[in-house]
Chains A and B, each alone.
Chain A
Amino acid sequence: MDYTQTGKKLDIDLLSKVMDATNTGIVITDNLLPDNPIVYCNPAFEEISGYSREEIIGHNCRFLQGKDRGQEQRAIIGAAIANGENCHVEIRNYSKTGKLFWNELYISPVKDDEGNVTNFIGIQNDVTLRKKAQLELEMNQADMEKKVEERTRMLKDNQEYLKSIVETIRESLLVMDKNYNILSANNHFLNTFKVSINETKGKTLYDLGNGQWNIPELKVMMEEILPTNNPVLDYEVEHEFPHIGKKLMLLNAHRIELEGQYKDWILLAIEDITDRRAIQQRKDDFLSIASHELKTPLTTIVGYMQMMNRLMPENASDKFKNVVDKTSRYVHRLNQLLGELLDVSRIQTGNIELHPEPFDFDRMVMETIDGIKAASPKRNIELVGKSGTNYNGDESHLVQVISNLLSNALKYSPENTTVTVQVNAISDFIKVSITDRGMGISHDEQAKVFDRFYRVGEIQRHYPGMGIGLYICQQIISNHGGTIWVESEKQKGSVFSFTLPVNR
């Protein structure tokens, strides 16, 4: 081999020492021998590859790639060798133990005077750590980009989502800053009030459409939202609005805040309840008229029923007496149901009118108990205590409450048990408690028994009814300024109590 360059002969020993000392792996192949075998390797290459010199010499360099043959760098190397050119690649190689290392490989051809490639010199560096760091960096970057993309898409999705809700909702929505300047209005608002976005955005709430929202009471509530965080809930505004005429609107307003984005904004939702209220009114009117109209023929029937009882011959058959008796009971039931229907229609329209007059409370309780006793002579009803009060209230309504509570107590307790009515004067209240020893009401259901049309599940099957008796009782008691409640234990019985303030 001729190691001359620029005509200067180098000391081969020196050169060999340099190659032994360097930590860069160096191999030399002989291109003139079949399959371009390795003819030289330095100790650094042994170190990098994990193979000993004996295992290296004579092999083609490809053994370093193990089974990892699919790398595109191989094609680059192949082309360089075929064309006798330089190349520089980073390629995955595998040490003797099978461990992957990234090899930064420089290949240079060595040519003879005729230009034939006699050898290739391969300079190798293990760049695994660098490569790994680089790959990690690339991966992190890709990951980051993906995340950013995802977040952006999510934000956009969220915005689209929110926008579609805001635009789909059948309610007018306004967003305002802390000075009540309109920041945005949804299409429902613009359509409802027949205004354009330009007439709305940027103006203050109170300047909108001839100051239609400039209502002192509303203003006070709106101005309290931010400092107190108290929302405006179900505030009704009836107003002659420009373009759309007289409407009944239901307003709800809340403070809204999105951390880092905005705070102290106000969301105002406006719902047009004009039609809904009118429909409700018509329904209530209908209910009221229908039950009134039914009452007149019912009065006639009740009258004739009572005549039948009076005219009943002494010697009438039991069968006949029984039929007459059943008929009167069902007429009575029909009468009760009609009364309840009327009460509901009255309560729903807020028309439960009290006609307060002073009356002897204890006498009223006694008479009511007597009335119920007459209808259920087998039952034992005891009266304990008295109020000693000449109470100023609506006697007929309070009779209704006590009758209702007493009938329930009798209905839902066994025949051989006693129902107790306790009346007391407590401070400046009258308290009445009606205790039965019946089936009781579960804790869950106690909260609901005063709801309109609510019936305790298992009871509906045995005692059909409309489930409004207790609702009506509650309305009557609360209209008197009192409270009504129930305490009960399953299988032990229930105590329904109410209080009435005496000095109202």
Chain B
Amino acid sequence: MKNKKILVCDDDQGILEMLELILEDEGYQVVIEPKSVNALKRIEQETPDLILLDIWMPVISGDQILRSLKSDTEKAKIPVFMYSASTDGKVIAKAAGADGYLEKPFDIEVLLANIDDLIKAYPMG
């Protein structure tokens, strides 16, 4: 669990700060990115063990980022967890190939449990 790095990309500062606090409290190393246009570059730089992605973001949406990741053999292996306030988010996330999804407002305990499972299952870990 320790030293696992999670990258969170969300255009909402409140969510970013809250997730950073909680994930750090869990013992993760957390990188936050408020601009979806920078997401791919940050992933390249940080090589996180898991990515948390909002779906609805301006300029580039979460599912577009995910599709780009999936086209890159190396990065395609990083587990991606998505969330959204929209009810059709689940379908979009699944279609884009997300490893997990929750609808906002999500239960933190459920989110943490999901993240934990994904990181344990991640082969590169």
Cα A342 to Cα B104 in complex, Å, equals 12
- Say if the beta carbon of A4 comes within 8 Å of chain B: no
Please name all residues of chain B whose beta carbon is closer than 8 Å to the beta carbon of A300 when the two chains form the complex: 12, 14-15, 17-18
Q: Could you tell me the distance in whole angstroms from the C-beta of B26 to the nearest C-beta in chain A? A: 10
Most chain B beta-carbon contacts within 10 A, residue among A302, A311, A342: A302
Contact of B85 among A296, A302, A310, A355 (CB under 8 A): A296
1/0 per residue A266-299: CB within 8 Å of B? 0000000000000000000000000010011111
Task: Tell me whether A303 and B19 are in contact (CB under 8 A).
Answer: yes
- Say if the beta carbon of A307 comes within 8 Å of chain B: yes
Q: Could you tell me the distance in whole angstroms from the C-beta of B66 to the nearest C-beta in chain A? A: 19
Q: Could you tell me the distance in whole angstroms from the C-beta of B125 to the nearest C-beta in chain A? A: 25
Please name all residues of chain B whose beta carbon is closer than 8 Å to the beta carbon of A304 when the two chains form the complex: 18, 21
- Say if the beta carbon of B109 comes within 8 Å of chain A: yes
Task: Tell me whether B107 and A306 are in contact (CB under 8 A).
Answer: yes
Task: Tell me whether B87 and A346 are in contact (CB under 8 A).
Answer: yes
Task: Tell me whether A342 and B107 are in contact (CB under 8 A).
Answer: no
Q: Find the A residue at minimum CB distance from B86.
A: A292
- Say if the beta carbon of B91 comes within 8 Å of chain A: yes
Please name all residues of chain A whose beta carbon is closer than 8 Å to the beta carbon of B85 when the two chains form the complex: 292, 295-296, 299
Q: Could you tell me the distance in whole angstroms from the C-beta of A191 to the nearest C-beta in chain B? A: 43
Task: Tell me whether A335 and B87 are in contact (CB under 8 A).
Answer: no
Known interface pairs A292-B86, A355-B90, A355-B91; A299-B106 also in contact (CB < 8 Å): yes
Q: Could you tell me the distance in whole angstroms from the C-beta of A217 to the nearest C-beta in chain B? A: 31
Q: Could you tell me the distance in whole angstroms from the C-beta of B117 to the nearest C-beta in chain A? A: 17
Task: Tell me whether A296 and B22 are in contact (CB under 8 A).
Answer: no
> Quick one: which of B74-90 are within 8 Å of A by CB?
85-88, 90
- Say if the beta carbon of B108 comes within 8 Å of chain A: yes
Cα A384 to Cα B107 in complex, Å, equals 29
Q: Could you tell me the distance in whole angstroms from the C-beta of A298 to the nearest C-beta in chain B? A: 5
Q: Could you tell me the distance in whole angstroms from the C-beta of A358 to the nearest C-beta in chain B? A: 15
- Say if the beta carbon of B105 comes within 8 Å of chain A: yes
Known interface pairs A297-B14, A299-B106; A353-B22 also in contact (CB < 8 Å): no
Please name all residues of chain B whose beta carbon is closer than 8 Å to the beta carbon of A335 when the two chains form the complex: 105
Please name all residues of chain B whose beta carbon is closer than 8 Å to the beta carbon of A353 when the two chains form the complex: 87-88, 91
Known interface pairs A307-B21, A307-B22; A302-B105 also in contact (CB < 8 Å): yes
- Say if the beta carbon of B25 comes within 8 Å of chain A: yes
Task: Tell me whether B12 and A303 are in contact (CB under 8 A).
Answer: no
Please name all residues of chain A whose beta carbon is closer than 8 Å to the beta carbon of B25 when the two chains form the complex: 307, 310-311
Please name all residues of chain A whose beta carbon is closer than 8 Å to the beta carbon of B107 when the two chains form the complex: 302, 306
Cα A296 to Cα B19 in complex, Å, equals 13
Q: Could you tell me the distance in whole angstroms from the C-beta of B114 to the nearest C-beta in chain A? A: 14
Cα A299 to Cα B108 in complex, Å, equals 9
1/0 per residue B48-83: CB within 8 Å of A? 000000000000000000000000000000000000
**Number of A interface residues, CB 8 Å?**
20
Q: Find the A residue at minimum CB distance from B26.
A: A310
Task: Tell me whether B105 and A306 are in contact (CB under 8 A).
Answer: no
Please name all residues of chain B whose beta carbon is closer than 8 Å to the beta carbon of A346 when the two chains form the complex: 87
Cα A110 to Cα B21 in complex, Å, equals 140
Q: Could you tell me the distance in whole angstroms from the C-beta of B93 to the nearest C-beta in chain A? A: 11
Please name all residues of chain B whose beta carbon is closer than 8 Å to the beta carbon of A307 when the two chains form the complex: 18, 21-22, 25, 108
Cα A304 to Cα B16 in complex, Å, equals 12
Cα A310 to Cα B88 in complex, Å, equals 31
> Quick one: which of A297-321 are within 8 Å of B by CB?
297-304, 306-307, 310-311
Please name all residues of chain A whose beta carbon is closer than 8 Å to the beta carbon of B106 when the two chains form the complex: 299, 302
1/0 per residue A332-346: CB within 8 Å of B? 000100000010001
1/0 per residue A74-100: CB within 8 Å of B? 000000000000000000000000000
Please name all residues of chain A whose beta carbon is closer than 8 Å to the beta carbon of B105 when the two chains form the complex: 295, 298-299, 301-302, 335
Please name all residues of chain B whose beta carbon is closer than 8 Å to the beta carbon of A298 when the two chains form the complex: 104-105
Task: Tell me whether A303 and B108 are in contact (CB under 8 A).
Answer: yes
Please name all residues of chain A whose beta carbon is closer than 8 Å to the beta carbon of B91 when the two chains form the complex: 353, 355
Q: Could you tell me the distance in whole angstroms from the C-beta of A3 to the nearest C-beta in chain B? A: 126
Q: Find the B residue at minimum CB distance from A335.
A: B105
Task: Tell me whether A342 and B87 are in contact (CB under 8 A).
Answer: yes
Most chain B beta-carbon contacts within 10 A, residue among A299, A307, A346: A299
Most chain B beta-carbon contacts within 10 A, residue among A296, A306, A310, A355: A296
1/0 per residue B31-44: CB within 8 Å of A? 00000000000000
Q: Could you tell me the distance in whole angstroms from the C-beta of B44 to the nearest C-beta in chain A? A: 27
Task: Tell me whether B104 and A296 are in contact (CB under 8 A).
Answer: yes
**20 additional contacts (CB under 8 A) given A307-B21, A353-B87:** A292-B85, A295-B85, A298-B105, A299-B15, A299-B18, A299-B85, A299-B105, A299-B106, A300-B12, A300-B17, A302-B107, A303-B108, A304-B21, A306-B107, A306-B108, A311-B25, A335-B105, A342-B87, A353-B88, A353-B91
Identify 15 residue pairs between A and B in the complex whose beta-carbon atoms are under 8 Å apart, listed by A's number: A296-B12, A296-B14, A296-B15, A298-B104, A299-B15, A300-B14, A300-B15, A303-B15, A303-B18, A303-B19, A304-B21, A306-B22, A311-B25, A353-B91, A355-B90
